[in-house]
C-alpha cells in the first residue's frame, strides 16, 4: 500500500518539510513540479514521494540551472483579484526577473532619513503590530506577510540568512515614527532572518490606502542580520503591491475610513512606483477573509550581481514612497 505524505497543519496553512503547500486543498504529491523541485533542492528526498518514479528525471530537467535560468511565473493574481481568486499563500514560483528596485520612501525608519529603528533592541521580531517599548498596538484586519527570498546570483536557490526589514502604514494611513500623532510609536516595523527555505514571515495588519498611492508594503533586504545597522548595506529595496479585490473588501470596513475613496482614485498602472509594469513582479497573492485575516505572499528574486539603485526619498516623492 502506498504511503501518502501528511502535511503539518499550521495557522498559515498546511506545510510539508517546512514549506507551505502551493495548493492547500491537494495532497502533498499533487502540488506540481515547482513544489517538488524545491523539495528536491532542499531535501534530496523527493524520490520518496508517491508516483515520482521516472518523473524524477523530468523534475531535474526543470530545476533552475547554475546560470540563473528561471521558469515562467505561475501567479494568477491581477489588479482585480478577489480573495477567492488569488493563488495559495507561500507559492515560490520563480519570477521572471529580479525584484524591481524601488524607493524606501520618506518614512523608512532605517536611519537614512531621520530616526533609526534598526538599532533598537527588539527589532528582530515576527509580530510587528505593537510598538517596541510597549506603547500602542496598531488595530486593523489581521495580515500575515510571507516573503520568499531567492538568490538569483546562485541559481535562484533560497537566500538563507539574509535579513529582511518590513514596514508599512497603519489603518489610518500613518507611519509610526513620522506621521502626526504616532511619532513616538514604532509599530508595523520589524526584521526577520530567512531560514533554509528563504522564507520570512511577519504578523501584522492590512495597511490602508492613502491619497496618491496604491496600497503597498515596503521592505529592504540585508546580506546578514549584523548589516542592518547601516542602510548603505542594503542589497535590495522594493515594495509589495496588494490586489484590488482584497483591498476593496478590507476598505469597506469602518476602521479603514477614507481608504475606499483613496483607492477609487488610483490604479496599479498609474501608480508612481508600480506603474512601470503594473506591479508584474510585485503583486502579491492573497488568501483569507476579514474575520480570520489574510495571508499575503510574494516571491522576491534578489540579484547581488547588480548594484542596488534605490533608497530613501527624504522630503519628497509623494506620501509614503513615491519615486523621487
Q: What is the DSSP string of 247-304?
A: HHHHHTSGGGTTHHHHHTT--TTT-TTGGGTTTTTTBPEEEEETTTEEEEEEEEEE-T
Predicted pLDDT of residue 51 = 40
Predicted pLDDT of residue 135 = 87
Question: What pTM, to 2 d.p., does this model score?
Answer: 0.71
Predicted pLDDT of residue 68 = 33
CA 91, 94, 95, 99 dihedral sign is: positive
DSSP H stretches of helix in the chain:
33-43, 55-62, 244-251, 259-263
Predicted pLDDT of residue 96 = 84
| 112: phi then psi, degrees, rounded to nearest 5 | -80, -15
**Grid cell locating 159:** 537566500
Averaged pLDDT in 10-residue chunks for the chain of 324 residues: 58 65 64 55 37 36 34 36 38 79 96 97 97 94 98 97 98 98 97 98 98 98 98 97 98 98 97 95 98 98 89 44 33
Predicted pLDDT of residue 308 = 85
C-alpha distance across the termini of the chain, in Å:
62
* Strands ordered across the beta sheet of 189-193: 189-193, 163-167, 216-222, 236-241
Predicted pLDDT of residue 292 = 97
Amino acid at each position: 500500500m502506498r504511503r501518502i505524505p501528511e502535511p503539518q497543519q499550521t495557522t498559515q496553512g498546511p506545510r510539508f518539510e517546512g514549506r507551505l503547500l502551493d495548493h492547500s486543498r491537494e495532497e502533498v504529491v499533487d502540488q506540481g513540479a515547482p513544489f517538488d523541485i524545491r523539495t528536491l533542492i532542499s531535501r534530496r528526498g523527493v524520490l520518496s514521494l508517491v508516483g515520482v518514479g521516472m518523473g524524477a528525471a523530468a523534475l531535474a530537467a526543470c530545476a533552475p540551472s547554475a546560470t540563473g535560468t528561471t521558469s515562467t511565473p505561475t501567479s494568477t493574481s491581477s489588479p482585480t483579484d478577489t480573495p477567492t481568486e488569488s493563488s495559495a499563500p507561500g507559492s515560490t514560483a520563480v519570477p521572471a526577473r529580479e525584484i524591481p528596485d524601488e524607493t524606501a520612501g520618506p518614512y523608512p525608519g532605517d536611519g537614512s532619513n531621520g530616526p533609526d529603528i534598526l538599532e533598537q533592541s527588539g527589532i528582530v521580531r515576527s509580530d510587528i503590530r505593537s510598538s517596541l517599548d510597549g506603547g500602542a498596538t496598531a488595530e486593523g484586519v489581521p495580515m500575515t506577510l510571507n516573503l520568499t527570498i531567492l538568490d538569483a546570483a546562485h541559481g535562484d536557490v533560497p537566500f538563507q540568512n539574509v535579513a529582511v526589514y518590513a514596514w508599512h502604514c497603519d489603518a489610518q494611513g500613518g507611519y509610526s515614527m513620522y506621521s502626526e500623532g504616532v511619532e513616538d510609536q514604532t509599530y508595523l516595523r520589524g526584521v526577520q532572518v530567512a531560514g533554509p527555505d528563504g522564507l520570512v514571515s511577519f504578523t501584522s495588519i492590512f495597511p490602508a490606502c492613502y491619497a496618491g498611492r496604491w496600497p503597498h508594503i515596503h521592505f529592504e533586504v540585508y546580506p546578514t542580520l549584523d548589516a542592518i545597522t547601516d542602510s548603505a548595506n542594503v542589497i535590495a529595496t522594493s515594495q509589495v503591491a496588494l490586489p484590488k479585490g482584497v483591498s476593496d473588501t478590507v476598505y469597506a470596513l469602518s476602521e479603514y475610513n477614507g481608504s475606499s475613496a483613496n483607492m477609487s482614485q488610483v490604479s496599479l498602472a498609474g501608480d508612481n512606483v508600480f506603474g512601470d509594469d503594473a506591479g508584474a513582479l510585485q503583486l502579491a497573492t492573497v488568501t483569507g477573509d476579514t474575520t480570520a485575516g489574510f495571508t499575503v505572499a510574494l516571491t522576491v528574486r534578489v540579484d547581488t550581481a547588480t548594484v542596488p539603485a534605490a533608497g530613501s526619498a527624504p522630503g519628497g516623492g509623494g506620501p509614503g514612497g513615491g519615486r523621487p
